[in-house]
Structure 1
Amino acid sequence: MKLKIISALSYFLLNIALQPVSAQLTASSKISLLSIGPGKDVYSAFGHSAMRISDTAAGIDNVYNYGTFTFDNNFYIKFAKGENDYWLSIVPFQKEYYIWAVLENRNVIQQTLNLTVKQYITSAA
Structure 2
Amino acid sequence: MENKNIIQLVAEACDDKRAEDIIALDMNDVSLVADYFLICHGNNERQVQAIARGIKDKMDEHDISLKRLEGFEQARWILVDIGDVVCHIFHKDERHYYNLERLWGDASQVSIQLEQD
- Give the TM interval when normalised to the shorter protein: 0.3 to 0.5
- Normalization by structure 2: what TM-score? 0.39
Larger Rg: 1
